[in-house]
Amino acid sequence: MTIPLKKITASEAVVEHLKTRIRSCEFGPGEKLPSEQALLKEYDVSRLTLREALAKLAAWGVIRVRHGKGAYVSESISVPALDNVLIPMFPQINADRMSDLVEARNTIESEIAAKVAENRTSNDIRKLQDLLEFNAREITSAEAFADRDYAFHLTLVRMAGNDFFLSMYQALNMQIRSFLVQYAKSVMDWEEALDRHTPILEAIIGKDREKARFLAREHARICASYIRTYKEGPDL
């Protein structure tokens, strides 16, 4: 059986190389890329190919093209830019990558919980409480549980009011949701699993920043321990 390989075009090759250069900080936020003539000489491609590559990077929000002035690395935050440049996609959840995702979630979610605890409103509390209401008629699959769990955390991110946190979290959507589906498959009681968020909410209600930060850090670690047990079980 012959497996067809994806052929990469010249413009895609330019895109990938420019992404690598931006990731390595050769060009920082707000900095101008080399001129069109310089890039044409560097990459030895046609003007059409180069412009196609730059258009793709611009569509992702990685660069901004100023008519008559050139292309600049974007200073704004966009999910596609994070997804394609700052957070290269890693494989679906596996033992080697689990700790990476848990560490990323711990870092982001702990600071988010602390920030929400400091600034939460009565309306915020009601929204979070509603998301922790378990309804067996709605949560009927691991995927449905993952959607509810993710909604709770995404709501916290939005309440924190930091666009950079929000974009980072949305860029990790695929990995986090895959993590949550595996978690849902590894636990016996989805209602109890959803209720594990309650201590975090109580700390937020009490405006206890440090407790909210600590509990949020522990939450992803505890969830990961269930997944590891599930993966190491006799059924695998």
- The reply to whether CATH 1.20.120.530 applies to domain 89-231 is yes
Choice among 64-73, 160-169, 195-204 with the minimum mean pLDDT: 160-169
Helix (H, G, I), strand (E, B) or coil at 172: coil
The architecture in CATH of the region 10-83 reads Orthogonal Bundle (1.10)
Q: Would you list the domain boundaries of the chain?
A: 10-83, 89-231
Which token pair is 230? 């599930």
- Spell out the residues 6+ positions from residue 219 whose beta carbon is closer than 8 angstroms to its own: 109, 196, 197, 200
- What distance in Å separates the CA atoms of residue 231 and residue 213, rounded to the nearest whole number? 28
- Each residue of 137-192: pLDDT tens digit? 999 999 999 999 999 999 999 999 888 888 878 777 777 888 888 889 988 899 99
Q: With a cut of 90, say whether residue 24 has pLDDT above it.
A: no
Q: Is the CB of residue 124 less than 8 Å from the CB of residue 197?
A: no
- Of the two residues 135 and 27, the one the predictor is more confident about is 135
- Spell out the residues 6+ positions from residue 99 whose beta carbon is closer than 8 angstroms to its own: 224
pLDDT at position 28 is 80
- What distance in Å separates the CA atoms of residue 228 and residue 32, rounded to the nearest whole number? 46
Report the mean per-residue pLDDT for the chain: 83
- What distance in Å separates the CA atoms of residue 170 and residue 125, rounded to the nearest whole number? 22
- Each residue of 105-124: pLDDT tens digit? 788 889 999 999 999 999 99
Choice among 48-52, 54-58, 147-151, 169-173 with the minimum mean pLDDT: 169-173
196 φ, ψ (degrees, to nearest 5): -65, -15
Helices H / strands E in the chain, number of each: 12, 2
Q: Is the CB of residue 178 less than 8 Å from the CB of residue 98?
A: no
* pTM, full prediction: 0.64
pLDDT at position 202 is 97
DSSP-assigned letter for residue 45: -
The stretch 132-139 carries a mean pLDDT of 94
